[in-house]
Structure formats: structure tokens, C-alpha cells
Amino acid sequence: MKVDHIGYLVKDMDRAAEAFAELGFVPVTDVIRDDVPDSAGNVRNVLLRFLENAGTVVELVAPLGEDSDVFNRLQTCGEGPYHICYAVDDLAASMEAMRAKKWRVLRRPSPAVAFGGAPVAFLVKKGAGIVELVEKPAGTA
């Protein structure tokens, strides 16, 4: 699995983009609002922005409100990296393989606003923390 990006939890998108600029990161997207319910009615309620430095991509993630997926984590853990996302060819197959190795599903596959509707899922395992999978079949952007 290839690392796609590092998810970085922040309180303020503008302040974070400024701080990451000091580390050589350049924005590759505008701020993306992900507050669209998926088919199961789940909403992430986050602001997202992707930055890049020499091929390393950071995804800034900020909660949109107290019902955001990441609100409690930000209160508890503060700002910092909290997931690594891997690109996979076949999300269902990768999830099945990981579940067989005792990874627990935190968020079932749902279309990601940030990836043009490509499905993403989150899994967690002791020893590794939170992992995101995004389905990006080989040859796609």
C-alpha cells in the first residue's frame, strides 16, 4: 500500500496553512467543506485542505462543530498528525484483508468529497493507530 497523505488535525485552517508554509508546504487545494451525508446518513463535518512538500502530502483537518468526527479527538489530543492514508486498488478487498488481521473498522466506506467521491474508510489497530484507505485504482490521479 502506498502512502497517500498524512492527516493532521488542526483548530484553524488559515493558521495551520501559514505554519506549514514555514515548513515548505504549498497548498494544492482550496479549503474543502465535507459536510455531505453519505448513504447511511453519516456526516464527517470537517474542513479539509491538502498541502504538498516534495511529494509528501499533508491533509489539514479541522472540525466544523461539536458534532464533527474529529471534535473530541482535537479536545483530547490537541493538534498533530492522527492518521496516515493509503491508496489501494480495491477498497473492499483491502478492508477484508485487514479485518482478517484484526483491524477494527472505525468508519465504513463512504464517498469522500476531497477525492471526487472516491470511497474512503477508516480502520484502527493497537500498535498502529488510525489508518485511512482511499480507493485509487492504479492509473488514476
**Site membership for Ni ion, residue 132 (CB under 5 A):** yes
Q: Indicate the helix (H) or strand (E) that contains 3.
A: strand 2-9
Name which of 69 and 132 has its Cβ closer to Ni ion.
Answer: 132
Min dist. Cβ of residue 134 to Ni ion (A): 7
Name which of 132 and 135 has its Cβ closer to Ni ion.
Answer: 132
Strands 104-111 and 119-125: antiparallel
Min dist. Cβ of residue 122 to Ni ion (A): 8
Binding region for Ni ion (CB under 5 A) out of 13-21, 22-30, 72-80, 124-132: 124-132
Restricting to residues 46-85, name those near Ni ion by CB under 5 A. 59, 85
Q: What is the distance between the alpha carbons of residues 67 and 17, in angstroms, rounded to a whole number?
A: 24
Min dist. Cβ of residue 26 to Ni ion (A): 18
Min dist. Cβ of residue 30 to Ni ion (A): 16
Among 76, 74, 75, CA closest to 62 = 74
Inter-CA distances, 33 with 5, 46, 91, 97, 134, Å: 18, 6, 23, 31, 18
Say which residue the cell 485504482 belongs to.
Answer: 137
Name the residue whose CB lies closest to Ni ion. 7
Q: Which residues contribute to the site for Ni ion (CB under 5 A)? A: 7, 59, 85, 132
